[in-house]
Structure 1
């Protein structure tokens, strides 16, 4: 898939009710972050890579691992400002 390598230990912060969780992993390729908002039934996943990689099927992955019923993927190419 993306073949990303985590550097060190991921960091997690759990917010008090009704808050969610924020996680951050430093990658050899850049970083990955997730922010959950259970009170809104929403999670934001940010994957940043320094080199181009094939795009995985994020919709299917999030449905399988997080039980999502809807998923919007926005891909931004590095260095593109518009």
Structure 2
């Protein structure tokens, strides 16, 4: 999606992955979400490629291992269901 007057948001869908992005050109900022349910090393390679292409001056990364149980729902309607990241 192209914002008016500047900025963009979008998503690229792949068979086992996606990359979403949001830009704020007025601040020189882009945020990315790179997700894969396939081979994690391919996500690492994509991450490195993106950094080489964008050449950011600052990078902050948060890696989330998905599929890990992070809690348990205790509401009686949803007893014994897990929260997954």
Q: Report the TM range for the smaller structure's normalisation.
A: 0.5 to 0.7
The number of aligned residues is 68
> Does 1 or 2 have the higher relative contact order (CA < 8 Å, sep 6+)?
1
Q: Stretches of 4+ moved more than 3 A in 1?
A: 60-63
Listed one character per residue, the Cα deviations across residues 25-61 of structure 1 (whole Å, up to 9, x for unaligned) are 1110031111111122211111111124122383x54
Q: Which runs of 5+ in 1 are unaligned?
A: 1-12
Larger CA Rg, structure 1 vs 2: 2
More helix by share: 2
| TM-score normalised per structure 1 | 0.66
Could you say what the CA RMSD is over the residues aligned between the two structures, in angstroms? Answer: 2.2
| TM-score normalised per structure 2 | 0.64
Q: Distance in 1 between matches of 2:13 and 2:51?
A: 24
Contact kept, 8 Å, 2:17 with 2:38, in 1: the verdict is no
